[in-house]
Amino acid sequence: MSEQILNLKGSDLTEAKLASLGKVLVDFWAPWCGPCRMVAPILEQVAAEMNGKATIAKVNIDDNPDAAAQYGVSSIPTMILFVDGKEAARMIGANPKGAIVDFINGQN
């Protein structure tokens, strides 16, 4: 994982912590998930391009099952976009880079 992507724990998913990050896309994933592994390099590219506009973060649901339960994540990858600490939208499944960028840019 690159230094441009934050690795969050369930305890980091508080409204205050997320609000401090501004606009943040949180990818709920697991190491055994094929589609999650397909999306990982795409998120690296998106993180580099979003430099300053949005933060990209990941939560490993194997290590943080309570976080997945808290946000009702039942399939992975699930990406939840938080704006000022509140959930603005979610995207489920492996999506191409353009769709992820549009998803982030389309939410204020």
Rounded to two decimals, what is the model's pTM? 0.94
**Given the structure tokens 């998106």, which residue do they identify?**
46
Q: Check if the beta carbon of residue 56 is closer than 8 Å to that of residue 27.
A: yes
Above 60 in pLDDT, residue 1? no
Average pLDDT over residues 55-65: 96
Mean pLDDT of 41-65: 93
Percent of the chain surpassing pLDDT 70: 96
pLDDT tens for residues 67-79?
Answer: 999 999 999 999 9
Residue numbers annotated as active site: 33, 36
pLDDT category, 2, cuts 50, 70, 90? low
Cβ density class 18-55: b for 16+ within 10 Å, e for less: beebebbbbbbbeeebeebeebbebbeebbeebeeebb
Residue 41 in tokens:
């390099």
